[in-house]
Amino acid sequence: MSTRPVRPRGKGSAWILAFVAFSGIGLGVLLAVGCAVGANECPFRPGPPSAGDARGIWLRSCAACHGVTGKGTRSGPSLISGKFAALTVPELEEGIARGKPLSGMPAFRRSMSPEEIAAVAAYVLGLRPGGPTASPTSSPPPGGPRP
């Protein structure tokens, strides 16, 4: 059985370790600063909301008043029938962003990004009978398929 002699670590390996550690910290700082000022693509910045995200936003922010399927409740009108069923995506986006304070509809421009507002508006169109779905992979609203 032969044993290999162990070489003691010298000052050179400590410098290499310090160089690697500081290089990693420096690159991390550069990436973070670049992301903060918008100079580069950030790997941890979320992309646009998906159809599933839109449904989640709808359930958290809209369903309490407009109903899970958009048919309305005592608190909010139907968005799939009646006068609000004719609203276009830009009109829906503006209504979501600005709200209607006198009717009780809150403004969401401060709590939702423009992308989230657009995703919710598209989701509302998907709730309407014969309307487009937000995505081929989106799940139908609870209570079964649309009439």
* Structure confidence at residue 64 (pLDDT): 92
Pairwise pLDDT comparison (33 vs 135), residue with the higher score = 33
Cα–Cα distance for residue pair 78/91, rounded to 1 Å: 15
| pLDDT band, very low/low/confident/very high, at 121 (cuts 50, 70, 90) | very high
User: In a 3-state reduction of DSSP, which class is residue 105?
Assistant: strand
Please state the rounded mean pLDDT for residues 103-129.
91
- In angstroms, the CA 126 to CA 122 distance is 7
Average pLDDT in the 51-71 region?
Answer: 89
- Is a pLDDT exceeding 50 seen at residue 123? yes
Q: Which CATH number fits domain 51-127: 1.10.760.10, 3.10.129.10, 3.20.20.210, 1.20.1290.10?
A: 1.10.760.10
Q: Over pLDDT 90: what percentage of the chain? A: 37
For residue 29, what are the CA distances in angstroms to 23, 26, 73? Answer: 10, 5, 50
Whole-angstrom distance between the N-terminal and C-terminal Cα of the chain? 81
**Letter for the amino acid at 116?**
E
**Of residues 38 and 16, which shows the higher confidence score?**
16
3-state SS class at 97: helix
